[in-house]
């Protein structure tokens, strides 16, 4: 899944989204902090293509987006909303194609604004980024061409603390940023930065009322942070090849950003630092068992505001969970398979 595939619903239950056999599945806690239900199919029997994406709104609702095959050689974007983890998600609804018609053009991304409206992003087959957004009173606006250079790999999208939607993408030679200037308006092409970014390693996080921070791995293997308006900063060497997971949390009374990544050795590596203070330094601490090469890591906060880390291996079919203990620092419970 592209985006934060570990979601806390508005009822406090955690839910994970995963892909299997041309479908999206979800697993949810039966009670907050309790046992987990078996996987369930999301959105009905529609057959899907490519990498789906998920975005979570401030209301706790999850919005999912994917491609579906339509006629031979063509595809279209579909959307589903999931209001509570234990309820069935809405059926997939077609929302068109960023270029009216054609085959899939890239992996999508999803973000949800302060009014609960989903914004779906996908690379265009020519150049730039396409976007479609929900109307305030139902339905969808027309697809918009947000312009920009070629998009490499999957874009990432999120809503900042202000509720305004932003998107980032790797482009030839660097990174590109789009942002709403006012709520309810289309995001506009903004700042770009030259940096040797590795496509497929992007992760974005709202880090203050004014800023979002983009994390990515550069060509030398360093994990970097970039906030538009400044220059990219090297945090530390990446623990492994994939994207990091990121969440803000309070550690010993300080607003911190916690990062997690599957390390090259196979275990989960954690690093924390004061939010937006990259110069304070960070270092990795590994935890848990060795995981398969396709294992992914996600972070969230549970119904008690404790940090939760989840790993998911599609090949092994294993979902492992750990939570922060009620102790100083970042002490974690033993990893458990659910």
Q: What pLDDT is recorded for position 21?
A: 84
Q: What pLDDT is recorded for position 329?
A: 85
Do residue 302 and residue 186 come from a single domain? no
Residue 133 falls inside a structural domain: yes
- Which helix (H) or strand (E) covers residue 67, if one does? strand 62-69
Q: Which regions of the chain are under pLDDT 50?
A: none
Q: Average model confidence (pLDDT) for the chain?
A: 95
Q: What pLDDT is recorded for position 317?
A: 79
We report the CATH number of the domain holding residue 103 as: 2.120.10.10
Q: What pLDDT is recorded for position 299?
A: 98
Q: What pLDDT is recorded for position 126?
A: 80
Q: What pLDDT is recorded for position 47?
A: 94
Do residue 254 and residue 187 come from a single domain? no
CA distances from 94 to 64, 66, 68, 76, 91 (A): 12, 10, 9, 7, 10
**SS3 (DSSP) at 111:** strand
Separation between Cα atoms, residue 22 and residue 3, nearest integer Å? 18
Query: Which residues in 195-317 belong to E strands, given as ranges?
Result: 203-206, 212-217, 222-226, 233-237, 245-251, 254-262, 268-274, 285-287, 296-301, 307-313
Separation between Cα atoms, residue 220 and residue 197, nearest integer Å? 9
Separation between Cα atoms, residue 249 and residue 300, nearest integer Å? 9
Residue 28 falls inside a structural domain: yes
Domain containing 147: what range?
A: 2-199
What are the tens digits of pLDDT across the range 76-132? 999 999 999 999 999 999 999 999 999 999 999 999 999 999 999 999 998 899 999
* Residue whose pair of structure tokens reads 């995963």 in the numeric block: 18
Separation between Cα atoms, residue 122 and residue 102, nearest integer Å? 13
Angle in degrees, CA 209, 238, 148, rounded to 5: 55
Do residue 184 and residue 259 come from a single domain? no
User: Per DSSP, what are the bridge partners of residue 309?
Assistant: 299, 322
Residue 229 falls inside a structural domain: no
Residue 238: exposed, middle, or buried by beta-carbon count in 10 A (0-12, 13-18, 19+)? buried
Separation between Cα atoms, residue 191 and residue 168, nearest integer Å? 10
Domain count along the chain: 2
Do residue 195 and residue 243 come from a single domain? no
């Amino acid at each position: 899944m592209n985006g934060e595939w570990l979601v806390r619903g508005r009822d406090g239950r955690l839910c994970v989204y995963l892909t299997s056999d041309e479908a999206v599945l979800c697993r949810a806690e039966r009670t907050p902090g309790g046992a987990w239900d078996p996987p369930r199919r999301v959105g009905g029997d529609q057959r899907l293509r490519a990498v789906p994406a998920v975005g979570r709104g401030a209301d706790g609702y999850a919005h999912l987006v994917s491609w579906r095959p339509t006629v031979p050689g063509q595809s279209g974007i579909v959307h589903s909303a999931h209001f509570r983890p234990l309820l069935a998600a809405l059926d997939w609804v077609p929302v068109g194609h960023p270029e009216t018609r054609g085959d899939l053009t890239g992996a999508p991304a999803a973000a949800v604004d302060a009014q609960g409206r989903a914004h779906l992003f996908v690379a265009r087959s020519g150049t730039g980024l396409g976007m479609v957004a929900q109307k305030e009173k139902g339905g969808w606006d027309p697809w918009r061409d947000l312009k920009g250079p070629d998009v490499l790999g999957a874009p990432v999208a999120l809503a900042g603390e202000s509720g305004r939607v932003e998107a980032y993408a790797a482009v030839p030679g660097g990174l590109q940023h789009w942002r709403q200037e006012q709520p309810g308006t289309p995001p506009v092409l903004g700042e770009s930065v030259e940096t040797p970014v590795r496509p497929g390693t992007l992760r974005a996080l709202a880090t203050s009322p004014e800023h979002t921070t983009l994390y990515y791995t550069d060509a030398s293997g360093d994990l970097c942070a970039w906030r538009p308006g400044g220059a990219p900063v090297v945090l530390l060497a990446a623990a492994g090849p994939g994207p990091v997971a990121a969440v803000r949390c309070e550690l010993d009374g300080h607003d911190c950003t916690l990062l997690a990544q599957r390390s090259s050795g196979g275990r989960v590596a954690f690093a924390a630092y004061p939010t937006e203070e990259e110069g304070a330094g960070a270092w990795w601490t590994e935890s848990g068992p060795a995981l398969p090469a396709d294992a992914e890591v996600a972070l969230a906060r549970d119904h008690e505001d404790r940090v939760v880390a989840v790993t998911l291996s599609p090949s092994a079919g294993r979902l492992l969970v750990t939570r922060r203990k009620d102790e100083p620092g970042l002490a974690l419970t033993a990893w458990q398979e659910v």
